[in-house]
């Protein structure tokens, strides 16, 4: 099924470890490696394995974290923490240029050629090509992208898709490949039905790969051609899919993600997000995963956006010194300060 979707959308050597590849790229670009603190020990371990070019360690981590039950204290999939560490090294520092991405392409292709039966090796090469594409596009407005960069952007996207298609029998056994396809397909303008078929196939491979729900979410946001009604319909459908394990939690998780990605402080004005439903979803989360400062901060931020002062005050009291500005929107410190002031705490 998924191979047919891919087809419809498409008109051995020794390599240095990543540490050496980075050194070469940095020498050519004059940039320094990123030194942001890792989010978790899982992220740190994945990043370190990438840095040293230790593919065997990456393979072991990936195999272990794909097994059922690897959820962290707030119900998030630990495989996402692993992918964060890998992705950081593949993407490099924002100042690194073409030499860096070419090294990443070559390194990951070498791994795939040395390990042709490894889904992860093929996926890492496709992801390297995807990130190479985005190095041309950048994260700004489309009007600010140089005309010549659009061709390179699309070329590398198509290379990533073509590579996964050519190695589908191996690569698509791991749901990480489906995440890469969703990212590439969205950028290439694939229709929503094709993207949803990819999401569903990935969840068959790994039902706990909740990152697939968030990747698909982006495709129904207005900035990617969706609209508030399509977004609401999608979120409600995911709630029904995930209800046996998560209750209604995904109503809050996905709408909070939509706020972060697009709606910001106007979530309840410009979307169909319903605060009573969202509040119940957060309570469902805490019934299952009570020890999550991250979720509690997110809940408080949404209560502020919904103008629910009583709930905000209760949650701020529970949070105490565990305030996490990163969970309060893009300008989190100011949002947290403003919500506290509105609630009468400042």
CATH number, position 76: 1.25.40
pLDDT at 95: 58
Provide the 3-class DSSP secondary structure of residue 71: strand
Instruction: Evaluate whether residue 242 is within a structural domain.
Output: no
CA–CA separation, 70 and 32 (whole Å): 34
Cα–Cα nearest to 182, from 162, 207, 199, 165: 199
Instruction: Evaluate whether residue 345 is within a structural domain.
Output: no
pLDDT at 17: 46
- The pair of structure tokens assigned to 318 is 């529970």
What is the length of the chain? Answer: 346
CA–CA separation, 120 and 105 (whole Å): 14
pLDDT at 4: 57
Give 259-268 pLDDT, tens digit per residue: 999 999 999 9
Instruction: Evaluate whether residue 280 is within a structural domain.
Output: no
CA–CA separation, 55 and 14 (whole Å): 13
pLDDT at 243: 94
Beta strands in 17-115 (DSSP E): none
**Helices within the chain (DSSP H only):** 2-9, 18-29, 41-51, 55-65, 78-91, 98-114, 119-137, 147-166, 168-171, 176-188, 192-205, 211-219, 228-246, 249-258, 267-270, 275-288, 293-305, 309-319, 332-343
Residue 88 DSSP one-character state: H
Q: Quick one: 80 exposed, middle or buried, by C-beta within 10 A (0-12, 13-18, 19+)? A: buried
Q: Any residues with CB less than 8 A from the CB of 266 and at least 6 apart, and which?
A: none
As for how many domains the chain has, the answer is 1
- The pair of structure tokens assigned to 280 is 């119940």
Instruction: Evaluate whether residue 77 is within a structural domain.
Output: yes
Instruction: Evaluate whether residue 268 is within a structural domain.
Output: no
Q: Which helix (H) or strand (E) holds 265?
A: none
pLDDT at 156: 97
pLDDT at 252: 97
pLDDT at 12: 35
pLDDT at 3: 59
Name the residue range of residue 95's domain.
2-219
pLDDT at 9: 56
Provide the 3-class DSSP secondary structure of residue 163: helix
Instruction: Evaluate whether residue 178 is within a structural domain.
Output: yes
- The pair of structure tokens assigned to 261 is 């990605």
Q: Any residues with CB less than 8 A from the CB of 182 and at least 6 apart, and which?
A: 195, 198, 199, 202, 212, 215, 216, 219
**Which residues is 71 bridged to in the sheet?**
77
The answer to whether the CB of 295 falls within 8 A of the CB of 282 is: yes
pLDDT at 8: 57
Provide the 3-class DSSP secondary structure of residue 334: helix
Instruction: Evaluate whether residue 214 is within a structural domain.
Output: yes
State the pTM of this model: 0.86
The answer to whether the CB of 323 falls within 8 A of the CB of 336 is: yes
Under-50 pLDDT residues of the chain: 11-17, 19-38
pLDDT at 6: 59
Instruction: Evaluate whether residue 120 is within a structural domain.
Output: yes
pLDDT at 89: 84
Sign of the C-alpha dihedral, residues 234, 268, 252, 61? positive
CA–CA separation, 284 and 125 (whole Å): 39
């Amino acid at each position: 099924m998924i191979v047919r979707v891919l087809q419809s959308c498409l008109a051995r050597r020794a390599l240095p470890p990543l540490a050496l590849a980075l050194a070469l790229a940095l020498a050519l670009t004059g940039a320094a490696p990123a030194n942001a603190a890792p989010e978790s020990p899982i992220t740190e371990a994945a990043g370190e394995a990438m840095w040293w070019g230790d593919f065997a360690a990456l393979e072991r981590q990936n195999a272990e974290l794909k097994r059922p039950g690897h959820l962290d204290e707030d119900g998030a999939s630990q495989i996402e923490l692993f992918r964060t560490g890998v992705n950081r090294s593949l993407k490099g520092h924002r100042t690194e240029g073409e030499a860096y991405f070419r090294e990443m392409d070559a390194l990951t292709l070498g791994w795939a050629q040395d390990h042709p039966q490894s889904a992860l090796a093929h996926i890492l090469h496709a992801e390297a090509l995807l990130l190479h594409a985005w190095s041309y596009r950048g994260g700004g407005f489309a009007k600010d992208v140089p005309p010549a960069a659009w061709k390179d952007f699309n070329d590398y996207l198509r290379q990533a898709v073509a590579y996964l298609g050519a190695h589908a029998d191996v690569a698509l056994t791991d749901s990480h490949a489906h995440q890469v396809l969703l990212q590439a397909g969205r950028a290439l303008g694939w229709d929503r039905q094709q993207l949803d078929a990819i999401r569903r196939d990935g969840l068959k491979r790994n039902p706990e790969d909740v990152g697939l729900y968030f990747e698909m979410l982006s495709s129904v946001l207005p900035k990617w051609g969706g609209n508030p009604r399509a977004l609401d319909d999608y979120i409600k459908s995911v709630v029904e899919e995930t209800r046996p394990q998560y209750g209604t939690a995904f109503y809050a998780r996905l709408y909070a993600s939509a706020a972060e990605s697009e709606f910001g402080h106007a979530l309840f004005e410009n979307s169909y997000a319903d605060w009573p439903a969202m509040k119940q979803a957060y309570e469902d989360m805490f019934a299952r995963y009570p020890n999550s400062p991250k979720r509690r901060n997110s809940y408080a931020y949404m209560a502020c956006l919904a103008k629910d002062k009583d709930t905000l005050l209760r949650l701020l009291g529970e949070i105490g010194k565990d305030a996490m500005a990163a969970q309060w929107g893009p300008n989190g410190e100011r949002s947290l300060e403003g919500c506290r002031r509105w609630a009468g705490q400042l």
